[in-house]
Amino acid sequence: MNMSQRTPLNAVNRRAFMQRAAALGISVAGLETLLAACGGGGGNGGGDIRWTNWANTGEIQRFKDFTANYNKTHNANVTYNFIPSANNNYFTKIQTELNGNAGPDVFYVGDGDIGKLVANQSIVELTDLLNSDKSKSKEADFQAGLWGAAKTLSGKIYGVPVDCNPLVLWYNKKVLEDAGITTMPADLFEQGKWTREAFDDMIQRIKAKKKYGYVMESSSTAYWAWCTVNGGKVYDKDGYGDLIVQDDLKAMDALNWLTQRVREKVVVYAGSLPKGQGSDLAFISGQTGFIAVGRWNLPTFKLSKGLRYDCVPYPSPTGKIAPAPVALAYMVINKKTKLLDKAFDFLTNFVSKDGQHFRLQGNGNAVPSLSSKELDPLVTEGNDPEHAHYLLDARAAGYALFPAEANTPGLTDDIKTALDPVWLQGKDIKTTLADFASKANPRIKQAMERIK
């Protein structure tokens, strides 16, 4: 069945329907969702497979192309339909559809939201399927640190990393040069001298030139990164247990240093920037030396005339690479799909070696989640940035959002809210974290008991 033969609307009626509905003020995205629901997905049991994710304008065509190619090359007796969705309120929309038995068969879910779907048992456990002969890639083929909340403490897997974005420090070469810095961070890293002291010296010198040394994002991963690269622990039980950062000496040493630098305005908290400004704009406009992002900003950097940039791992006590966060999305399957085998076939092809190559080739904005020498050149080809291979090193050493945090509803947002007074008002960080942990740990325990 091709797209023009989908019921209950043929191509002509579909076009007329969209024109009438648009006249009533319904958005195009809303129309596509409505039509897709009518076409029969996971909850409706039709003959098509619907899949969705959030995507920016530049990415949508690539996902459409992948879907068209899959329909052409796989004789599955069903039609696979891609329904793009805006990032804004994406997960709320997915939850509403799942609750109404109208959810897509296959879809993306963020690393901070997958735990909710595992807890309410609305997605398929994939452990056996991943390790079966139906799977193009086995569990062991993916980087071990990327599973996060998609994998329970008992080892059950509910989502597969589609690709990933390791956090590294990106630096504006001109800002560093204007501050009198002649040895770039990547050169120090190659010499085993990229330590917090070396980084501190650079951001102090940049601040002396009335620029931001480093803009720190307003997110828990931005804070925890400095803890883990300095050898500290944030959560107990390999990330599945209590919040213990407040009692870890190495973690608190890093956070105390960070707090002091924020007070000195050497490190600038992104939450204090003027409205409408972010770390990426500060970086492109030459207002900051360093920011910490994944590969997702690379397409924007490439288009920024005159911008000279490179990346380097976070500094560590040894001068070598250390564990830092990796941003992720997982592909999951609606538990109410009527076409599980067909849905899994699409999923495993999407995240396979060939699938990731198709999606990430040329101007990609992510890093493969599979350990594969065949895929690594997608990141390093063209040497943009010059030390792009650090993204692969950071992936190998990195970790997904801690399961304890991801599985506890609202915890990530609450951490940001709790620590805002530290960055904005000078509140003591250890006292703040200790007080927060006393309230958070019972919530974590309760959340983890729901997921086995």
> Which tens digit of pLDDT belongs to each residue from 66-109?
999 999 999 778 999 999 998 889 999 999 999 999 999 999 99
Q: What's the mean pLDDT when you consider all of the chain?
A: 90
How much is the pLDDT for 25?
46
* Whether pLDDT at 396 is above 70: yes
Which has the higher per-residue pLDDT, 28 or 208?
208
- Mean pLDDT for the stretch of residues 12-40: 41
Lowest mean pLDDT among 20-29, 271-280, 352-361: 20-29
Among residues of the chain, what percentage have pLDDT more than 70?
90
pLDDT tens for 127-138 read: 999 999 999 999
* Whether pLDDT at 1 is above 60: no
- Mean pLDDT for the stretch of residues 390-403: 98
- 55 pLDDT band, cuts 50/70/90, is confident
Please identify which residue in the block is written with the tokens 């009438």.
Answer: 20
- 43 pLDDT band, cuts 50/70/90, is very low
How much is the pLDDT for 22?
43
* Whether pLDDT at 45 is above 50: no
How much is the pLDDT for 368?
97
How much is the pLDDT for 275?
85
- 173 pLDDT band, cuts 50/70/90, is very high
How much is the pLDDT for 5?
29
How much is the pLDDT for 7?
30
- Mean pLDDT for the stretch of residues 204-221: 98
- 276 pLDDT band, cuts 50/70/90, is confident
* Whether pLDDT at 252 is above 70: yes
How much is the pLDDT for 31?
43
Which has the higher per-residue pLDDT, 59 or 338?
338
How much is the pLDDT for 363?
72
How much is the pLDDT for 39?
37
How much is the pLDDT for 34?
41
- 172 pLDDT band, cuts 50/70/90, is very high
- Mean pLDDT for the stretch of residues 320-339: 97
- 281 pLDDT band, cuts 50/70/90, is very high
pTM, to two decimals: 0.89
> Domains in the chain and their CATH numbers?
40-163+329-383 (3.40.190.10), 168-324+408-449 (3.40.190.10)
